[in-house]
Amino acid sequence: MMFFIDTANLDQIKEANDLGILDGVTTNPSLMAKEGISGKNNQLKRYKEICDIVDGDVSAEVISTDFEGMIKEGIELSEIAPNIVVKIPMIKDGIKAISHLTAKGISTNCTLIFSAGQALIAAKAGATYVSPFIGRIDDTNWDGMSLIEEIAEIFAMQDFDTDILAASIRNAKHIVDAAKAGADIVTCPLNSILGLLKHPLTDIGLEKFLADHAKANA
Ligand code: E4P
């Protein structure tokens, strides 16, 4: 399973990249706004900065919601760097745009997926990735992880090449559960990735090893 980081914060991207486990980055307009990045030039500049840090795929989301606008923006974003993936919302014109960009050889990530049907039509249109939003489904008292399982079953049965990118990850358990459910990629905040490292028995065990070593070598 691949690990992407879900942020537009350069320090966090560098920190995850330095761990040697980072395969890519996803951003969205809310994450860009959180970093205080506004205006088209600053947004394009930030995508370029991210692509300079990470070799893997970097999802950059369009703002337009009409076909022509999404194509124009998508082509412009794809010209920033070869590892840019154009992130397109799951709407009717979005599916049209994914088909069009796929035919042009441009990678796409269909975002805001909340049902297996949405994932199916995005895959049919040729999306490189589909992004089901686990945490937001859990927030509505439904089971986000069962959606990953359902999509994984359909894609395997129907032999789709589209990768399942589990998004809206809120904690380390989500990452483990997404791996078990068949996600190809998880995109997570840095804290959720770092949460995978933690166990109290590891801390207690290490403290004891070091104390015993210190005693024996006093
Ligand atoms: C990433 O592709 C998504 O936009 C992101 O994971 C959404 O996460 P959120 O539900 O925590 O905003």
Q: Which residue has the tokens 């269909």?
A: 110
pLDDT in tens, 180-206: 999 999 999 999 999 999 999 999 999
The catalytic site residues sit at: 87
Atom of ligand 1 lying closest to residue 59 CA: 2
The neighbour count for residue 52, using CB atoms within 10 Å, is 11
- Predicted pLDDT of residue 51: 98
- What is the DSSP secondary structure assignment for residue 115, as one 8-state letter? S
Residue 6: both structure tokens together: 């879900």
pLDDT in tens, 130-185: 999 999 999 999 999 999 999 999 999 999 999 999 999 999 999 999 999 999 99
- Confidence (pTM): 0.96
Atom of ligand 1 lying closest to residue 188 CA: 6
Does residue 124 line the site of ligand 1, with CB under 6 A?
no
- The Å distance, Cα 37 to ligand 1 centre, comes to 17
Q: Report, in this order, helix, strand and coil percent for the chain, each rounded to 5.
A: 55, 20, 30
Q: Which residue has the tokens 């686990």?
A: 134
Q: Which residues contact 121 (CB under 8 A, 6 or more apart)?
A: 95
Does residue 167 line the site of ligand 1, with CB under 6 A?
yes
Does residue 3 line the site of ligand 1, with CB under 6 A?
no
Name the closest-CA residue to atom 9, ligand 1: 168
Helix (H, G, I), strand (E, B) or coil at 132: strand
Does residue 26 line the site of ligand 1, with CB under 6 A?
yes
- Predicted pLDDT of residue 190: 98
Name the closest-CA residue to atom 12, ligand 1: 168
Does residue 135 line the site of ligand 1, with CB under 6 A?
yes
